């Protein structure tokens, strides 16, 4: 079975030394009393929960999977999942960042993201049950009526009731404008929903007493396309009573029609949900459902990006442990373990390349993801209007990068770490093949990575003439100007400045081409996102390198080796991974002709 230890040292480095998160959060009145000890205690206890409760049931959950009973339409989760969820609920973890008004702890979203990372490292399939509940909670918090919030949010905060999002239908995935599920208004103000949804994660299970589905559907007079979509609350059991005293009542007219047999995340119930005259209630305004659902979808995209981070970290940890123990061959520079018949494979340069790739993407991704979470808290809670807007702009800009860049990296790193094991990586007992299988879905669901690339290039950058990207660029420029004259920072600042200049020129070039031919955006979008992703990682790696250099300078020979190692990984990133942008920039500039000139019937 794979092993895992929460990366507390690096998490605390990012939280406190790189981001100064506590000071930043204390600028917000709701977090004025937050302190470093509280942050550390939450992260440490969260790590213990993941190590002790989630990791032991990950491999077994993957092998057992969920079980569907056609007679009762019920789904049983793998052994240990419900017990772990009960422990999770009893400890109050579900309400970590939820509003105190509804029984939550009211802690920053930043801590929720740190907890997410560890959950996804130890059991991605299990973590999706409470994770989707948080997304549904946040959607209702923003768009639900007072009555709806009072009824549903307390139960969802405690995890007594879980949540889902029901978007996809057999004939429409990305193009939600084609959805057919119908909602007929009733005399009592409710609606009767009829239709079929597929790929519904956590859609039916035995872990909670009720499941609150957020369903996209069409009203009878709805206009065609995405402008005619409304959002509805459709619970598995119709609640009886109000507020915290509400209880489950009669079974609603929806059921699980079957489970998908899939490549990975087998411990999560991916369901076909049949709505057969189910009772639902409108959320927000008619025909404005997609806007409301984007609260949950964007939150889910951030969560999926962190799934990529979590998989990268656990795959790295296990590959390192194996590389230190497995003996094969001799070091090219002479025996490293002359008392052994062979050397540990960690002496081989290419093994180190694979390990360092995973480590650099994990540590860079951690700094990036935690900063984005801090921007989420800034957007929601900062008292200064300009800071609040900056947080909102960065959340908007970075969401597709978090989702696509981090999950692309996660799959790459899981595969590379499997490769470290050689043939043993392909064997189930080591757990590496599960990481690869689980990581692959992250590039697909919550909007494929190709869609994220289109969103970044077309909507988040070109639609506002690059205003949000320039706002991030100003932060990068300030860092470069502040540190560009330091000789010890040259190896980090110079490549950062170079990629910043190249992104600026590439963006302008893409914008000019797009005015003549919109296919140019589609042709360039994926390599463009990879390029911008590296700009973002370069910035955070340069920031981390600066902190490490200052500690080495201050502490001299007595410095914690952690900081010297951080500098070594930073150098690897800039010299070995950032050069990918030479290829991605060239690909982005290649234009659409080579993609579009071949007739469809010639494929």
Question: Could you tell me which residues come within 8 angstroms of residue 506 by beta carbon, excluding any fewer than 6 positions away?
Answer: 528, 531, 585, 588, 589
Reduced 3-state DSSP string for 39-71: HHHHHHHHHHHHHHHHHHHHHHHHHHCCEEECC
Q: Which two tokens stand for residue 273?
A: 């949900």
Please identify which of the residues 313, 416, 446, 520 carries the catalytic annotation: 446
Closest to 317 in 3D by CA, of 416, 417, 213: 417
Question: Could you tell me which residues come within 8 angstroms of residue 265 by beta carbon, excluding any fewer than 6 positions away?
Answer: 124, 125, 128, 438, 441
Cα angle for residues 138, 143, 147 (degrees, 5° grid): 100
Residue 506 burial (CB count, 10 A): 20
Q: Which two tokens stand for residue 580?
A: 């990918």
Instruction: Based on the residue annotation, tell me whether 446 is a catalytic residue of this protein.
Output: yes
Helix, strand, coil % (nearest 5) of the chain?
65, 10, 25
What is the maximum alpha-carbon separation in the chain? 84
Question: Could you tell me which residues come within 8 angstroms of residue 415 by beta carbon, excluding any fewer than 6 positions away?
Answer: 436
CA distance 380 to 388: 7
Closest to 299 in 3D by CA, of 534, 118, 47, 116: 116
* Catalytic residue IDs: 446
């Amino acid at each position: 079975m794979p092993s895992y230890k929460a990366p507390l040292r690096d998490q605390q480095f990012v939280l406190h030394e790189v981001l100064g998160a506590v000071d930043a959060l204390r600028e917000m009145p709701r977090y004025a009393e937050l302190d470093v000890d509280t942050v550390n205690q939450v992260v440490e206890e969260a790590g213990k929960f993941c190590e002790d409760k989630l990791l032991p049931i990950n491999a077994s959950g993957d092998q057992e999977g969920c079980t569907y009973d056609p007679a009762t339409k019920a789904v049983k989760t793998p052994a240990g999942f419900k017990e772990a969820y009960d422990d999770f609920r009893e400890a109050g973890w579900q309400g970590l960042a939820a509003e105190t008004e509804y029984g939550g702890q009211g802690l920053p979203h930043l801590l929720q993201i740190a907890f997410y990372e560890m959950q996804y490292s130890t059991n991605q399939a299990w973590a999706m049950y409470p994770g989707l509940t948080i997304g549904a909670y946040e959607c209702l918090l923003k768009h639900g009526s007072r009555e709806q919030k009072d009824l549903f949010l307390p139960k969802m905060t405690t995890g007594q009731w879980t949540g889902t999002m029901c978007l996809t239908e057999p004939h429409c995935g990305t193009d939600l404008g084609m959805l057919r599920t119908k909602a007929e208004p009733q005399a009592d103000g409710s609606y009767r929903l009829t239709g079929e949804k597929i790929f519904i994660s956590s859609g039916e299970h035995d872990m909670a007493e009720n499941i609150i589905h957020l369903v996209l559907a069409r009203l009878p007079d709805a206009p065609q396309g995405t402008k005619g979509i409304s959002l509805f609350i459709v619970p598995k059991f119709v609640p009886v009573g109000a507020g915290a005293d509400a209880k489950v009542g009669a079974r609603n007219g929806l059921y699980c029609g079957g489970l998908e047999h899939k490549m990975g995340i087998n411990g999560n119930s991916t369901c076909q949900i049949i709505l057969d005259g189910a009772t639902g209630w409108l959320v927000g305004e008619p025909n404005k459902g997609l806007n409301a659902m984007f609260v949950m979808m964007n939150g889910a995209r951030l969560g999926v990006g962190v799934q990529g981070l979590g998989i990268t970290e656990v795959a790295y940890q296990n590959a390192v442990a194996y590389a230190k123990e497995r003996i094969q061959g001799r070091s090219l520079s002479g025996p490293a373990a002359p008392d052994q018949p062979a050397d540990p494979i960690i002496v081989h340069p290419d093994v180190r390349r694979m390990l360092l790739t995973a480590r650099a993407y994990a540590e860079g991704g951690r700094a990036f993801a935690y900063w984005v979470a801090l921007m989420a808290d800034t957007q929601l809670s900062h008292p200064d209007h300009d800071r609040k807007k900056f947080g909102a702009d960065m959340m908007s800009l970075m969401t597709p990068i978090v989702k696509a860049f981090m999950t692309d990296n996660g799959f790459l790193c899981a595969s590379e770490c499997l490769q470290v094991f050689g043939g043993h990586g392909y064997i189930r007992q080591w757990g590496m093949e599960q990481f690869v299988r689980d990581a692959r879905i992250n590039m697909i669901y919550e909007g494929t990575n190709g869609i994220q690339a289109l969103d970044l290039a077309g909507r988040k950058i070109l639609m506002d003439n690059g205003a949000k990207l320039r706002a991030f660029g100003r932060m990068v420029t300030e860092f470069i100007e502040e540190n560009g004259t330091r000789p010890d920072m040259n190896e980090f600042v110079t490549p950062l400045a170079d990629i910043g200049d190249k992104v600026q020129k590439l963006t302008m070039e893409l914008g000019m081409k797009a005015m003549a031919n919109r296919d140019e955006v589609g042709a360039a979008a994926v390599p463009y996102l990879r390029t911008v992703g590296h700009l973002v990682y370069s910035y955070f790696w340069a920031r981390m390198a600066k902190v490490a250099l200052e500690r080495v300078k201050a502490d001299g020979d007595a410095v914690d080796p952690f900081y010297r190692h951080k500098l070594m990984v930073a150098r690897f990133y800039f010299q070995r991974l950032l050069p990918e942008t030479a290829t991605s920039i060239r690909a982005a500039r290649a234009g659409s002709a080579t993609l579009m000139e071949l007739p469809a019937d010639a494929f």
